[in-house]
Amino acid sequence: MAKLIKNQAIVDDAWQVLTLAEDQRAETVTVGEGQWIVPLSVFLAQPALQQRSDVAVWLDGDDEPADVAPFLAQLPLVAVRFPKFSDGRGYSIATLLRSRHGHTGELRAIGDVLRDQFDYLGRCGFDALQPDADRYTDAQLEDALNSLTVFSEPYQASVTIASPLFRRQRRAA
Amino acid sequence: MYRYDEYDQQLVDERVKQFADQTRRYLAGELSEDEFLPLRLQNGLYVQKHAPMLRIAIPYGNLRSDQVRMFAHIARTYDKGYAHFSTRQNIQYNWPKLEDVPEILGKLASVQIHAIQTSGNCIRNTTSDPFAGVAGDELIDPRPWCELIRQWSTFHPEFAYLPRKFKMAVNGAEEDRAVIRCHDIGLEVRHNAAGETGFRIFVGGGLGRTPMVGEQISDFVPWPHLLSYLEAILRVYNRFGRRDNKFKARIKILVKALGIDAFREQVEAEWAHLKDGPSTLSTDEVARIAACFVDPQYESLPATDAGFERARAESKPFAKWVERNVRGHKRAGYASVVVSLKKTGVPPGDITAEQLDLVAAWADRYSFGEVRVTHEQNLVFADVKRAELFELWEQLREAALATPNFGLLTDMICCPGGDFCNLANAKSIPIAESVQRRFDDLDYLHDIGELELNISGCMNACGHHHVGHIGILGVDKNGEEWYQITIGGRQGNDAGIGKVIGRSFAAADVPDVIEALIDTYIDHRHEGERFVDTVHRIGLDPFKARVYGEQQTERKVANG
Ligand code: HEM
Ligand code: SF4
């Protein structure tokens, strides 16, 4: 079973991620039994999926987070996909989902997710971090827990640290 | 000068620890080349021709003497005994070993210096006016605002993987000495009609492949909203900047594609959510930071000093140096001194470990222990007593740091070019030297007057060639090195991009071409008119005619 880091611990995970192949269309692709995280386009195109409690949604970098906002209360989780680890759009999308659209459930980073990014991903509101299945050995993933918080008192406000350092701490002149 | 408190220090120390582990994992094969790339870049580490190049931030160009001494130590211990000041108020080492970098960063951290975000697709070192706090034309000191931006942008989790690098500069004087219009975001601290402090903001400037002058997105953002407004701009850019093509990924392309009005609308829509949020600056915080930039303990001095005046009358070389390299100061009896790093034969911006140690000692002796770095790759002692200028000059002269050429043709900006840089199309340092050698007559140089010559070894424009009064750009033609010349570029309040005068030249011809341009200027100039102003008054044609001469006429005839 796939592993991911959730709430600072390594856990097994039963969700599968659906991606559309070249010849598949959002309207007609079949989402089978089991727990599936489907692309936003599929979720929006197939209202039947919106009734299923074992279907979640993932957003791509060019998806609009506002589009998933009406469903947030009912979705078991929302994922944001990083097509490349160097593509930083997902950080803003996560921030918007948490701070503007009020998503309080699981927010999962999927795709090209690296341990060297965990601290930043966490601060942008991801509480579940799922590197590609073959990226880290179990031992490396264990070690990667040390990367969850690199900077103990960051300067700026973000999703999880709601106020900037100058409001959190009394800084001497 | 800003001094770290325990929080600043802790962050930098944690960074060093993080990078040491990343380097270890890279060397152990746990991190791929690709994965390590952005991590090392965000720690200032490039892989260059000869070795990694390490770029270290000098936030808004301010340094203390102990930091300068550390630079000397690093040059001596981990490099070949010298370092290089860049156009973005950074210092670069060309020869460190990768394995040594964590240790170097550790030593830098011990003197409150870091290499955080000096490269990579993130918010880079914020730059500013090297005469901040001392210039007579200053309206508001930009440095506290730079420091606030530095803290906000350091390890900002949302903006570490932007589509492309992101550069900001702040200016607070009448004259823009920070080239704010050629930055991704340029900020001018100013007062509005009601006397409140805020920012005029330009966005979408930048050089490189598609040079552009920034456009005004706001004429006044009140100071409490500085960070939330920047956040709004960055978020729009992070989400909608192009990522499909590296050459179109800078914010200037997004601003251009949308148009400044539509871009502003998006930013303001985003800002509406952020305004008055937690990032809103507080009076206390601004006061805390501003307290680091109060005036040093100036003495009350008479405006003139008899000894200084006598030395100036008696020594022509001293007088020449004073004329060029000494600038006025807001306080009577004080002056700012520009230490030229443009001696003929030395690559522009280079400095040796010995010179760095001397600079540190002079800073302690003459200028409250502080040094500034300019984007023209020179150094500044901001607060020198007029009475001590002669003494300082004699010592500078002994160390070959008193070249009286600040703002003149030989005070050129020059990138490392083909001698060091992987991306170069042509060499730049030898071109700088050949021009310096041609114009070695000081009297003539002074007569030519203010002239900015900027040289880049490729179109990335690290040498700012677009905004040079004369710009030289290295180009590649069938594997050979050629040089294209632009004239009429300007930085400052009326920043503009220079125009190409015509086909490019072989290296050997460059000094002749520059000479022909200067001769044309001398023939046409009005009393007191700068080269660049003559170019704008009379246009390119007289210059082209002199440079290309008959060949161009021939071609015209041939074309009928
Ligand atoms: C030797 C290693 C260097 C490399 C590999 C390098 C690389 C680059 C690249 C790729 C760009 C183009 C970025 C773009 O337009 O999107 C650029 C621009 C620039 N670099 Fe460098 N550079 C180096 C050294 C320097 C040095 C030594 C300086 C200063 C003397 C410098 C200052 C700049 C500046 C000012 C720009 C223009 C930025 C703008 O568009 O506004 N770089 N550099
Ligand atoms: S302008 Fe080109 S050659 Fe010069 S330093 Fe920049 S990238 Fe290298």
Chain A residues within an 8 Å CB radius of B14 = 150-152
> What are the backbone angles phi and psi of residue B355, rounded to the nearest 5°?
-65, -40
Q: Give yes or no for a contact between B358 and B304, defined as CB atoms under 8 angstroms apart.
A: no
Which H or E run includes B381? strand B379-385
Evaluate whether residue B488 is within a structural domain.
yes
Considering only CB atoms, A152 lies closest to which of B14, B158, B243, namely B14
Which H or E run includes B337? strand B334-339
From ligand 1's centre to the CA of B48, what distance in Å?
13
Q: Give yes or no for a contact between B339 and B382, defined as CB atoms under 8 angstroms apart.
A: no
Chain B residues within an 8 Å CB radius of A113 = none
Mark yes or no for CB contact A92/B238 under 8 Å.
yes
Question: pTM to 2 decimals?
Answer: 0.95
**Full domain range(s) for residue B328:** 306-398
- The alpha carbon of A102 is separated from its chain's Cα centroid by a whole number of angstroms, namely 14
Distance separating alpha carbons of residues B269 and B266, to the nearest angstrom: 5
Instruction: Look at residue A170 in the predicted model and tell me its pLDDT.
Output: 87
Q: At what angle do helices B143-153 and B283-290 cross, to 10 degrees?
A: 110
Instruction: Look at residue A173 in the predicted model and tell me its pLDDT.
Output: 67
* Pair B322, B388 in one domain: yes
Evaluate whether residue B298 is within a structural domain.
no
CA distances (Å), origin B273, targets A59, A69, A168, B231, B236: 22, 16, 21, 11, 13
Q: What is the DSSP letter of B526?
A: P
Mark yes or no for CB contact B7/A172 under 8 Å.
no
- Straight-line distance from the first to the last Cα atom of chain A, in angstroms, rounded to the nearest whole number: 53
Beta strands A106-111 and A77-82, pairing class: parallel
> At B324, is the secondary structure helix, strand, or coil?
helix
* Pair B278, B392 in one domain: no
Distance separating alpha carbons of residues B104 and B48, to the nearest angstrom: 18
Average pLDDT, chain A: 95
Chain A residues within an 8 Å CB radius of B7 = 153, 155, 165, 169, 171
Distance separating alpha carbons of residues B334 and B134, to the nearest angstrom: 9
Per-residue pLDDT of chain B in tens (560 residues, 90 and over written 9): 999 999 999 999 999 999 999 999 999 999 999 999 989 999 999 887 777 899 999 999 999 999 999 999 999 999 999 999 999 999 999 999 999 999 999 999 999 999 999 999 999 999 999 999 999 999 999 999 999 999 999 999 999 999 999 999 999 999 999 999 999 999 999 999 999 999 999 999 999 999 999 999 999 999 999 999 999 999 999 999 999 999 999 999 999 999 999 999 999 999 999 999 999 999 999 999 999 999 999 999 999 999 999 999 999 999 999 999 999 999 999 999 999 999 999 999 999 999 999 999 999 999 999 999 999 999 999 999 999 999 999 999 999 999 999 999 999 999 999 998 999 999 999 999 999 999 999 999 999 999 999 999 999 999 999 999 999 999 999 999 999 999 999 999 999 999 999 999 999 999 999 999 999 999 999 999 999 999 999 999 999 999 998 555 444 444 43
Select from B349, B365, B398 the last residue of a domain. Answer: B398
Residue B67 sits in a domain whose CATH number is 3.90.480.20
Chain A residues within an 8 Å CB radius of B277 = 157
Evaluate whether residue B406 is within a structural domain.
no
Q: Provide the phi-psi class of B306: left if phi over 0, else alpha when psi is between -120 and 50, else beta.
A: alpha
Evaluate whether residue B18 is within a structural domain.
yes
* Pair B47, B156 in one domain: no
- In which order are the strands placed within the sheet that holds B197-203? B127-128, B168-171, B185-191, B197-203, B215-222
> What are the backbone angles phi and psi of residue B291, rounded to the nearest 5°?
-65, -20
Instruction: Look at residue B554 in the predicted model and tell me its pLDDT.
Output: 44
Evaluate whether residue B297 is within a structural domain.
no
User: Is the C-beta atom of B465 inside 6 A of ligand 1?
Assistant: no
Mark yes or no for CB contact A155/B291 under 8 Å.
no
Considering only CB atoms, B22 lies closest to which of A116, A152, A172, namely A116
Name residues whose C-beta falls within 8 Å of residue B215's C-beta, 6 or more positions apart in sequence.
B202, B203, B204, B255, B260
Distance separating alpha carbons of residues B90 and B30, to the nearest angstrom: 31
Distance separating alpha carbons of residues B469 and A12, to the nearest angstrom: 63
Region A110-126: mean pLDDT is 97
Chain B residues within an 8 Å CB radius of A165 = 7, 151
Distance separating alpha carbons of residues A110 and A133, to the nearest angstrom: 10
Nearest CA in chain A to B238: A89
Q: At what angle do helices B389-398 and B316-325 cross, to 10 degrees?
A: 100
- Give the type of residue at B99: E
Nearest CA in chain A to B6: A171
User: Is the C-beta atom of B135 inside 6 A of ligand 2?
Assistant: no
Residues linked to residue B379 through DSSP beta bridges, in sequence order: B339, B373
Beta strands A106-111 and A128-131, pairing class: parallel
ipTM above 0.95, yes or no: yes
Task: Say if A173 is an interface residue toward chain B (CB within 8 Å).
Answer: yes
Q: Give yes or no for a contact between B236 and B270, defined as CB atoms under 8 angstroms apart.
A: yes
What's chain A look like in SS3?
A: CEEEEECCEEEEECCEECCCCCCCCCCCCCCCCCCEEEEHHHHHHCHHHHHCCCEEEEECCCCCHHHHHHHCCCCCEEEEEECCCCCCHHHHHHHHHHHCCCCCCEEEEEECCCHHHHHHHHHCCCCEEEECCCCCCHHHHHHHHHHCCCCCCCCCCCCCCCCCHHHHCCCCC
Residues linked to residue B222 through DSSP beta bridges, in sequence order: B198
Return residues 6-25 of B near A (CB < 8 Å): 7, 10-11, 14-15, 18, 22
Evaluate whether residue B41 is within a structural domain.
yes
User: Is the C-beta atom of B415 inside 6 A of ligand 2?
Assistant: yes
**Percent above pLDDT 90 for chain B:** 95
CB atoms < 10 A from the CB of B355, how many?
23
Evaluate whether residue B300 is within a structural domain.
no
Mark yes or no for CB contact B121/A165 under 8 Å.
no
- Give the type of residue at B390: F
From ligand 2's centre to the CA of A26, what distance in Å?
46
Distance separating alpha carbons of residues A37 and A42, to the nearest angstrom: 10
**Percent above pLDDT 90 for chain A:** 94
Mark yes or no for CB contact B238/A119 under 8 Å.
no
> At B133, is the secondary structure helix, strand, or coil?
coil
Q: Domain count of chain B?
A: 4
Mark yes or no for CB contact B152/A171 under 8 Å.
no
* Pair B93, B148 in one domain: no
Write down all domains in chain A, each with its CATH number in brackets.
2-168 (3.20.20.70)
Q: How close B139 gets to chain A, by Cα (Å)?
A: 24
Count CB pairs under 8 A between chains A and B: 109
- Straight-line distance from the first to the last Cα atom of chain B, in angstroms, rounded to the nearest whole number: 65
Considering only CB atoms, B288 lies closest to which of A155, A157, A173, namely A173
Considering only CB atoms, A92 lies closest to which of B154, B239, B291, namely B239
Residue B509 sits in a domain whose CATH number is 3.30.413.10
Considering only CB atoms, A151 lies closest to which of B11, B39, B285, namely B11
Mark yes or no for CB contact B282/A166 under 8 Å.
yes
Mark yes or no for CB contact A167/B7 under 8 Å.
no
* pLDDT per residue as tens digits for the range B256-304: 999 999 999 999 999 999 999 999 999 999 999 999 999 999 999 999 9
* Pair B389, B422 in one domain: no
User: Is the C-beta atom of B460 inside 6 A of ligand 2?
Assistant: yes
Instruction: Look at residue B330 in the predicted model and tell me its pLDDT.
Output: 96
Q: Give yes or no for a contact between B406 and B378, defined as CB atoms under 8 angstroms apart.
A: yes
* Pair B232, B322 in one domain: no
